[in-house]
Amino acid sequence: MAKQEQIAFEFDMPAEPRVKLKKPEVVTVVPVVTTRKEKKLLQKRGRKSFKDMELEAELVNIPPDEELFKKQYYSIGEVAKMFHANQSLIRFWEIEFDVLKPKKNKKGDRFFRPEDVKNLLLIHYLLRQKKYTVDGAKDYFKKNKNATEKLELVKNLEKVKAFLLELKANL
């Protein structure tokens, strides 16, 4: 057997750094989270608060019916952008609610018809604004066959209310 030798290296560290900075470095300060409440406010995962859901419900951007029905199909990405939601949430709603029947191609991509988008709007309204549970929203669909007409009526009444409030403010 050959005897193994150990080799040691010594490094001399220079007294001054080799690179001198001309400008001071920009330092970003990260807040230190100490309490549980602060941690919860910074978390992005999990169930959203009712206040956050109400704010997101106002961000829904569905085009008017004339524009909506110009296209025959909408991809799940386009629908998710309309509702400011994740695609996984749209897929979950598709599984839970029998009203939604998107077309699927051979690859498995979902394509929503304008009627499906209108039904998604009703589901979003029930779950996010009216605070129904998923089971409660399913029961609502079973009991109310003309649920989309009621939603349109509510939306029109909200527009009239906004107009009247604006008119009152201008007086």
* pTM of this structure: 0.59
* Whether the predicted pLDDT of 92 surpasses 90: yes
Residues spanned by the domain of 145: 48-163
Q: Which of 99, 64, 102 is nearest to 80 (CA)?
A: 102
Q: Which amino acid is at 109?
A: D
Mean pLDDT, rounded, of the chain: 78
Q: Residue 103 is inside which H or E element, if any? A: strand 103-104
d(CA 82, CA 92): 16
Q: Which of 59, 54, 134, 64 is nearest to 99 (CA)?
A: 134
Residue 152 lies in a domain: yes
* Whether the predicted pLDDT of 145 surpasses 80: no
How many separate domains does the chain show?
1
Residue 40 lies in a domain: no
**Would residue 150 be called left, alpha or beta, if left means φ above 0 and alpha means ψ between -120 and 50 degrees?**
alpha
Q: What is the pLDDT of residue 103?
A: 92
Q: Which amino acid is at 105?
A: N
* Whether the predicted pLDDT of 50 surpasses 70: no
Residue 72 lies in a domain: yes
Strand partners, 134: none
Supply the DSSP symbol for 110.
E
* Whether the predicted pLDDT of 5 surpasses 80: no
H helices within 34-86, ranges in order?
36-42, 50-57, 65-68, 76-83
Residue 34 lies in a domain: no
Residue 6 lies in a domain: no
Residue 5 lies in a domain: no
